[in-house]
Chains A and B, each alone.
Chain A
Amino acid sequence: MNKLIELGKKHNIDIEIFKEKNNSTDISTLNDKVKLFQITNVTSYIIKAIKNNRCVKIVTENINDVEEIINTLEEIFNTSDNKNSNKLCSGNVKNKVKDYEKIDNTKVKEDLLSLNELKNKYSCIKTVEAEFSHAEIGKFITNELNNCDMEDETYFNSYGASVTVEKNNQTRVLYIGFYTKEYNFDEFKEYLLKKLDYLLIKLDSTSVETKKYKVLLANNVVASILSTFSASFQSKGIYLNESVLSDKLNKKIFSDKITIIEDSPNGILNSNFDSEGTLKKKQVLVDKGTFVKEINNIEYAIKLEKDATGNANGVNNLYIEKGSKTFDELVKELNNGIIIDEAYGFHAGVDKKTGNISVQAEGLLVQNGKITKGLNMIILSTNFFEVFTNVIEVGNDLSKFSLSVSTPSLLLDNITIAGKE
């Protein structure tokens, strides 16, 4: 890395190298067999270069050919019009993992394969696919400044499953994802079993009439919505009029009951600085419904004369502050309405500029406080602002469905569900 920094100096280019090492082990099973065992060891680099107060970057997996990298940087300086003024990192932070969790792959295989035994209890289960991943991530920053010495390490575990059930020519599938810091298969299995109960009810499914309903959005569905719009909090998109939150800073955009926080150092994927070396800290983005803070990188912090927030690589631990009621209490309070516990197609069925959402959903009909029937072939037809404004109650059940976004379930009023009936 020093060779590249030295050669940069000869070209009057100040170079900073962000190095990220990702080591992971993945195991997946299908019914009673291991389907795939995979190990991945990949190192990548972001080369930040500053010349005549302009900054450009390249991403590469190989820095051996320093001449080619410098030539490419010169080409980018000559081509790009971007006036990106920037600065090198001068921090000195070391956050090393003392003892990485030792994962016993034999036990992982046994645990995943044990899910196949669910077929003994539930005869309608046709197939069980399960997967596990353990990832270790190391980040380093170096540049020509003597006082820059940044190192950060973290790790996490993820689990997934798809369970297919079949009865009377009806087939339904449960897809779940789950993240934990330490290996905790029992917690994942408990979550899977809860979701499986709902799936079994959905073997007897119907659609509904298209109209507005009182709706309980399960925490995983709320997490999908917030994840889809998480980049909307970035200054760049707001500045370029590409974000649903353009012109909304310091305005009331959601219900008083919604407070959204980004707390990177304390998430499952805990991170103490971003790829530019900006230190991360807990920051409130939406305070009791008012949009109070944008997140950004150094380029947009300088351009908009704000503080850099350490979000050059997006969010690490974005969450909605939880309320006090359990999911079961929210179901009782729903009384007559619809639970949406699964929704698909957020990559396509969402307009990130207007906030409109129109996605395939599954759910459960609730009558007099009790779940009476499954719902399939329905569409959740709403809007980003509507979801977080029509809030009656916020649950206390923060999701573990996404690595970087967690949310509680939300009880909402007046949400359109489109159906066939």
Chain B
Amino acid sequence: MKKDRLENILEAMLSTGGDFAEIFMENKKTTVFNYIDSNLDGYSVNYSNGLGLRLAKDNNVYYAATNDFSKKSINSIINTLKSNIKDKVVYNYVSLKRLKKYKNNHKTHYTNDDIKELFNNLDKKIRSKDERINQVNLTLQNVKQDVTIARENGLFKNEERERTRLYIIISFKDGNKACNISYSLGKTTSLDLLDEIKFDEVINELIKEGTDKLYASTCPGGEMPVIIENGFGGVIFHEACGHAMEATSVADGISVLSHDLNKKIASEKVSIIDDGTLFDEWGTTKIDDEGRETKKNVLIENGVLKGYLIDEINNRKLNMKPTGSSRRESYIYAPTSRMNNTYLEKGTDTFEDMIKDIKLGLYAKKMGGGSVSPETGDFNFACDLAYMIRDGKLAECVKSASLIGNCKDILASVEMVGDNLALGQGICGSISGSVPVNVGMPRIKVSHILVGGEKSE
């Protein structure tokens, strides 16, 4: 839509006294290659193209999502939205600034045939490694998203975004035993992401992990010390405290951390950052979904809560400056404060020092996802691959271990922090939909977490 049409829409939205109006336009193309059963079973291309209109008066928000761009439809939607407000008009006219563009300069040298050839070769290589492998599933997803944001205050910005992610899932079967083991890498880049992956190393590691997991023993349940490996292990901080630091739950006083700003809430070894600017990372964008440039936000510094993640509407409630953290899955959702790339800063402790004094504990090598109740801080997450620690040494691989705890307990129970900081990719679901996020941390030792297992020991 042209600039004057957008200005007219914003003015119409504000004509009954609204004090905030925003147009979010989105154009998205998603391409997915799915290779399974030794052939490219699926190659799909999906298109999405819609519009989100957000109107607010004080802290009340009225939102509309549509993909019907006709004047008649948009006028009808505006009338419904603005009928909720009857007040003195604050804005008589809107004048948008010159469009500021944030371009995507990524290019790729990969053709569809290149990808088919690569996947054929990977499938053959993986299957040749172990006769217990009964399925190989390779999925490559590329998303190109173009967003434009126009506001009543003149803000007018556009960003071209591109994300690519590869998943490898290998299935093992031996008699009545079966398991899956997986790997994924995602970045805000083109299909050239594939050039960054050392496939031989990845495959060899997956085969070792898969054969361990296939014969995994029953996990003992109960409270015990846990060493959590780096990278996606950072999901523990994402769940345990990240969500509780989002303004969407802080502003209404619902979060367990609502009243803890500048208080010591964690061990001194804990410093947590959320940074939407990290180069090409999975949770990175140049602007957030309200058009504000992303930045590095310090959330916890040496155990002290230093800040929250703030969006425009919750800024009104908290009187705290927005942090460039407002996100949404698509035009269907009104945006709110969300994480981008959240990680625990590295420390100096070694694996040997972490493990040596543990008589009975768990080594969580690969984490699955999790969830949290921001109100109570109670969280859970699943281990995808875990080993017991017995008498200071790694022991048997165990299955179905999940960890549960409370955010304040866990933050205070981080005893050691390693120096091998790495990031892992995830899709985080919350009230503004599912958004790509990085979680990250170096290896850590937590003095006690409740481990879910099938027997006591």
Contact = CB atoms under 8 A, between A and B. Distances in A.
Interface of A: 30, 33-44, 56-62, 72, 75-76, 78-82, 127, 129, 162, 164, 171-173, 175, 207, 209-211, 240-242, 344-345, 347-351, 353-354, 356-360, 376-377, 379-381, 416, 418-420
Given A82-B40, A381-B400, 4 more contacts: A58-B46, A79-B43, A348-B370, A353-B178
A241 B452 contact: no
A71 to B, nearest CB: 10
A210 B221 contact: yes
Contact of B179 (A36, A207, A354, A379): A354
Contact of A210 (B37, B371, B382, B453): B453
A240 B400 contact: no
24 contacts: A37-B81, A40-B66, A40-B332, A41-B77, A58-B47, A61-B47, A171-B375, A172-B376, A240-B135, A241-B135, A344-B380, A345-B370, A345-B382, A348-B369, A348-B370, A348-B382, A379-B221, A379-B402, A381-B453, A381-B454, A416-B454, A418-B452, A420-B223, A420-B450
Interface in B166-222: 171, 173, 178-180, 220-222
Contacts of B81: 37, 39
A33 B49 CA distance: 32
A349 B380 contact: yes
Contacts of A344: 371, 373, 380
B67 to A, nearest CB: 5
A326 B59 CA distance: 45
B84 A37 contact: yes
B334 interface: yes
B455 interface: yes
Contacts of A359: 380, 402, 452
Interface in B30-59: 33, 36-37, 39-50, 59
Residue from B60, B222, B401 with most neighbouring chain A CB atoms (10 Å): B222
Contacts of B379: 360
Interface residues of B, number: 76
A197 B36 CA distance: 49
Given A40-B66, A360-B404, A418-B452, A348 B368 contact: yes
B221 A418 contact: yes
Residue from A36, A175, A211, A358 with most neighbouring chain B CB atoms (10 Å): A358
B384 to A, nearest CB: 9
B112 interface: yes
A134 to B, nearest CB: 14
B256 interface: yes
Contacts of B60: 33-35, 37
B45 A349 contact: no
A62 B47 contact: yes
Given A37-B62, A359-B380, A242 B171 contact: yes
Contacts of A75: 45, 112
Given A345-B371, A420-B450, A80 B68 contact: no
Contacts of A175: 373
Nearest to A65: B47
B1 to A, nearest CB: 14
Interface of B: 33, 36-37, 39-50, 59-68, 73, 77, 80-81, 84, 112-113, 116, 134-135, 137, 171, 173, 178-180, 220-223, 252-254, 256, 332, 334, 368-371, 373, 375-376, 378-382, 399-402, 404-405, 450-456
A30 B248 CA distance: 12
B40 A79 contact: yes
Contacts of A39: 63-65, 77, 80-81
A379 B376 CA distance: 17
Residue from B137, B371, B400 with most neighbouring chain A CB atoms (10 Å): B400
Nearest to A377: B450
Nearest to B448: A420
4 A-B pairs with the lowest CB-CB distances in the bound complex, closest first:
A379-B452, A418-B221, A348-B369, A360-B380
B126 to A, nearest CB: 15
B170 to A, nearest CB: 11
Nearest to B453: A418
A353 B213 CA distance: 13
B403 to A, nearest CB: 9
A358 B405 CA distance: 14
A262 to B, nearest CB: 25
Given A39-B64, A173-B373, A240-B37, A381 B452 contact: yes
A353 B179 contact: yes
A82 B35 CA distance: 10
Contacts of A242: 135, 137, 171
Nearest to B221: A418
A381 B221 contact: yes
A270 to B, nearest CB: 24
B456 A61 contact: no
Nearest to A58: B45
Contacts of A56: 43
B143 to A, nearest CB: 14
Nearest to B180: A353
A310 to B, nearest CB: 21
